[in-house]
A and B are shown apart, each in its own frame.
Chain A
Amino acid sequence: DIQMTQSPSSLSASVGDRVTITCQASQDISYYLNWYQQKPGKAPKLLIYDASNLETGVPSRFSGSGSGTDFTFTISSLQPEDVATYYCQQYDNLFTFGPGTKVDIQ
């Protein structure tokens, strides 16, 4: 099984701040990684696929990078509506999600 870790588990930042979340896979997964946003009480929403491709309609302040075992998700300028938990998900071998990173506004 491929295990996914994320850091930090939670963060608090100010509106306009740059926010970075990292995701690490237990083995090389190439670029087979997606990122989701889950707001409280809602289903997750796909933001980034194939590690760095922005899903249609998703604001350009969201971005992703990385390959192999180490990946990064960035919000270039945090907005109040970005308060959510963010999950990475690998699809190299079936599917596994990371434990999530909760993002709050300071």
Chain B
Amino acid sequence: QVQLQESGPGLVKPSETLSLTCTVSGGSMSSHYWNWIRQPAGKGLEWIGRIYSSGTTNYSPSLKSRVTMSLDTSKKQFSLRLSSVTAADTAVYYCASSYSGYTFDPWGQGTLVTVSS
């Protein structure tokens, strides 16, 4: 049973780059899509992007210019970088797995990132 755990700074300054890592345990990273999804407090879910086990990426059009995802299969980790952050990027960030490519399951527990000076 795959389990996911997000890690990274909980506070990022405006205009800087948000960096998060998701560590995968209990399963293989091959033949899976690895996703990042975020949720501002009290609001809905927004898909940020995904990286396939081959390294191929897809990003949300609204965030594409600021997002970079990468994969380190030797460490069983994948990462998110979001540049030029503003207060609007404050949210709980979730990583989620997808074997089918279109369902998100399972999810990590989420990590709160606050953008503030």
Bound complex: CA A1 to CA B62 (Å):
10
What chain A residues lie within 8 Å of B101 (beta carbons)?
A: 91
Interface size class of B (residues with CB under 8 A): 20 to 34
Main secondary structure of the interface of B (DSSP, over half): loop
Bound complex: CA A46 to CA B106 (Å):
8
Interface size on A, residues (CB 8 A): 21
Main secondary structure of the interface of A (DSSP, over half): loop
In this complex, which of B61, B94, B102, B106 has the most chain A Cβ atoms within 10 angstroms of its Cβ?
B102
Report whether A97 and B44 are in contact in the complex, using a CB–CB cutoff of 8 Å. yes
Q: List 20 A-B contacts (CB under 8 A).
A: A1-B61, A36-B45, A36-B104, A43-B94, A43-B106, A43-B109, A44-B45, A45-B105, A49-B100, A49-B103, A55-B105, A87-B44, A87-B45, A89-B45, A91-B103, A94-B47, A94-B60, A94-B61, A96-B47, A97-B46
